Structure formats: C-alpha cells, structure tokens
Amino acid sequence: MEMTSDFSNNGKFDPSAPPPFRIADVRAAIPKHCWVKDPWRSLSYVLRDVIVVFGLAAIAIYFNSWLVWPFYWAAQGTMFWALFVLGHDCGHGSFSDLPWLNSLVGHLLHSSILVPYHGWRISHRTHHQNHGNVEKDESWVPIPEKVYKELDITTRFMRFTVPFPLLAYPFYLWWRSPGKTGSHYDPNSDLFTPAEKMDVIISTSCWTVMVALLAYLNIVVGPVPMLKIYGVPYMIFVMWLDFVTYLHHHGYDSEVPWYRGEEWNYLRGGLTTIDRDYGLFNDIHHDIGTHVVHHLFPQIPHYHLIEATKAAKPVLGKYYREPKKSGPFPFHLIGYLVRSMKQDHYVSDTGNVVFYQTDPQLYRFFRGKAD
C-alpha cells in the first residue's frame, strides 16, 4: 500500500492517512525494561485488591446501614472492575511469563466476577488482533448501515441511549454484538477453534461453580443481603467495564476512522484507540485508560504503560490523541459518552475508510411517541 501524507488537501491533519512511521519505530522508542514482567509485583496488586474487596465487605456488613451501603456499592463495584483488569492482564500474558500462573490467577479473578476467563480472553485477543477493523473487530464494533436498519427501533434506541449500553456486557458474553453469532460460554461457538474447546469448557465450568456458590449463598444468607453485598457491586462493575471500553474507541473531539480490506493494518487500527484520564481512579484500575500503547503492545505490564506511552508519544505525533486532564472524578467523560451515543450510530456498507454516521430519526421517533 502506497504511503500518503498525514495531512489532507486543506492542510488539516488527517487521522485516517497511513502514518509516516512503522510499528517497529514505536517499539524501538520504548525502554527495554518496560517489557519486563515481574510476577511478584503483579501478585502484589492482586493481594492489594483482594484485601480491599474483603475489607469493604466486612465494613459494610458490620455497619449494615443505608448510610454506608451506597458508598460500599460504588467502592466495591470499582474494585470488581480492578480485579477484572488484572485478570485481563493475565489473558494478555502481561501478568507474568508463566502461562500456568496467568491461567490460575485469571480464572480466580474472572470467575469471582462471573466472567468466563478463556472465553473472554480469546475473543479479546481477536479484538486486539483486529482493532479498528469494521469486518473483524470484536469489541464495540461499528454496525454496518444495512444491519443497523434491520434492527427494530427499540433495539436501536436502547443500544444508543445511556444508561442501557452500560448494562450490555453480560448480554454480550451470551450473544455477542448485532450481526455476530456465538457465545463466550459455548465451546462449539465460532468464536473458538477446535484446539481451544477444552479451555472454554474449563472456564465455563469455573463460571458455573461461581454461579452455584452464589445460589447457595442466596439460600443461606438470603437474596436481599446477597443483592446488597454482591449483586449491586456486580452491576457497578459492569457499568465501569462498558463505560471504559466504549470510550477507548469512541467519543473523541474529532472523528475516529475505521477500516476495511487493504486499508486496514495492525498499526493503523491500533492508532484508532484513545487514552483517557480517570483522575484518582487511574491507579485503582491499574492505568487501563493508558490504552494506545496497550493496544499496540499488550505484552507490556500495566505498571509500565505510563512510562512506555511517554516514550512513544514523540513517534506517534498527531496520531496520539492527548486525553483531557481529569479532576479527582472523571465527570467530563460522561459528556463524551452521551454525545458519542447520540452521534455514532452506524458506518457505511461501502468504503475501506469509514467514519460513524448519525441516524437523525432515532430520537425523534421516541420524542414523537412521548408527545
């Protein structure tokens, strides 16, 4: 593919233009020690998070007050999300160089929050291998116009109206996205190769054990206490996951390209991802907002991502989208989410470089019904 200028005819930067650097150039800019994985350091983060999770539960149960429960739900849901991120690192192999340790820790962490470790690990690997590819991407992939118009109006409305998309993850695990088939729990799903069947069976079995344990606790403790202790934090975790992963690929101030066919390659796809600043939550959820370098090089441990990004930025230049600085709480990101949901509905069925288009009739229909 012929390289072109990264500026359009009107002199403005064109983010869809092939970059004037190679992925090897980005890799070379990152210090060598950023690639080193320390299993003891990784395990220390697991220990920290697990102590906080059990400590929060103990405090909430001890006080058992409606003055405490809302704070507990917000904090514990955030910690469930932190556990997910560490399990996510296990899936990438950035947790350690020991496959057995990655698998053990990944299963323990993800099963505890009702995520099938291998099932999700494999589909997430597909996402990283095809990021920014309309045809092959897996996570929050754009809906082609033809598929979009085949959706009923209620499905369209719920998919693009906050807060409904923030509750999507459990449904995605079972049924994937519109236009795709398969389940993360089914070893025979087209998500997986025959060689991965046993991995999926193991993960689904671990998930089933966790579901059985929760059912048993519902009988012993009661459904209302379990809802307060586990159910509500789980929903907060799901909202964190959908919120963060969506904003990794949507909602920037300017348009973000998506690719098809020969216009796509790994580097151009990775450059469509977006870093975000989450204020005081950056350390709590293990700098998952430092996402561009993570997408290009998922082998880098999370505790080196900030340094690696700082080193890579001079090479990335205008292709790096500088995140807006957050206060202690990233309230500004809610505006990005809402605006993107109102604007980013589908992409054209044709063209190898495409941008999101807006359905101007989507909300008019429901406003008309309300009137």
Render pLDDT for 68-90 as a digit per residue (tens, 0 to 9).
999 999 999 999 999 999 999 99
Three-state secondary structure readout of the chain: CCCCCCECCCCCECCCCCCCCCHHHHHHHCCHHHHCCCHHHHHHHHHHHHHHHHHHHHHHHHHCCCCCHHHHHHHHHHHHHHHHHHHHHHHHCCCCCCHHHHHHHHHHHHHHCCCCHHHHHHHHHHHHHCCCECCCCCCCCCCEHHHHHHCCHHHHHHHCCCCHHHHCHHHHHHHCCCCCCCCCCCCCCCCCCHHHHHHHHHHHHHHHHHHHHHHHHHHHHCHHHHHHHHHHHHHHHHHHHHHHHHHCCCCCCCCCCEECHHHCCHHHHHCCCCCCCCCCHHHHCCCCCCCHHHHHCCCCCHHHHHHHHHHHHHHHHHHCCCCCCCCCCCCHHHHHHHHHHHHCCEECCCCCEECCECCCCHHHHHHHHHC
Is the predicted pLDDT of residue 5 greater than 60, yes or no? Answer: no
Residue 225 resides in a domain: yes
E strands, the chain, in order:
258-259, 353-354
pLDDT of residue 364: 76
Is the predicted pLDDT of residue 101 greater than 80, yes or no? Answer: yes
Q: Provide the domain limits for residue 103.
A: 23-370
pLDDT tens readout for residues 262-317:
999 999 999 999 999 999 999 999 999 999 999 999 999 999 999 999 999 999 99
Whether residue 318 contacts residue 271, with contact meaning beta carbons closer than 8 Å, is answered with no
Residue 90 CA to its chain's centroid (Å):
15
Is the predicted pLDDT of residue 93 greater than 50, yes or no? Answer: yes
Average pLDDT over residues 242-259: 93
Domain count across the chain = 1
Residue 15 resides in a domain: no
Task: Give dist(CA 176, CA 326) in Å, integer.
Answer: 32
Cβ count near 13 (within 10 Å): 13
Q: What is the pTM of this model?
A: 0.93
Interaxial angle between packed helices 117-129 and 69-92, expressed in degrees from 0 to 180 and rounded to the nearest 10? 70
pLDDT tens readout for residues 170-203:
999 998 877 788 899 999 998 999 999 999 999 9
Residue 4 resides in a domain: no
Residue 70 resides in a domain: yes
Six-digit token string for 44: 């220390």
Which of 262, 351, 290 minimizes the C-alpha distance to 1?
262
Residue 130 resides in a domain: yes
Residue 10 resides in a domain: no
Whether residue 75 contacts residue 58, with contact meaning beta carbons closer than 8 Å, is answered with no
Is the predicted pLDDT of residue 2 greater than 50, yes or no? Answer: no
Mean of the per-residue pLDDT values for the chain? 93
**pLDDT band at residue 1 under the 50/70/90 scheme:** very low
Residue 36 resides in a domain: yes
Whether residue 57 contacts residue 229, with contact meaning beta carbons closer than 8 Å, is answered with yes
pLDDT of residue 369: 54
Is the predicted pLDDT of residue 234 greater than 60, yes or no? Answer: yes
Q: Percentage of the chain with pLDDT > 70?
A: 95
Residue 6 resides in a domain: no
CA torsion through residues 298, 299, 303, 307, sign: negative
Average pLDDT over residues 53-67: 97
Cβ count near 65 (within 10 Å): 9
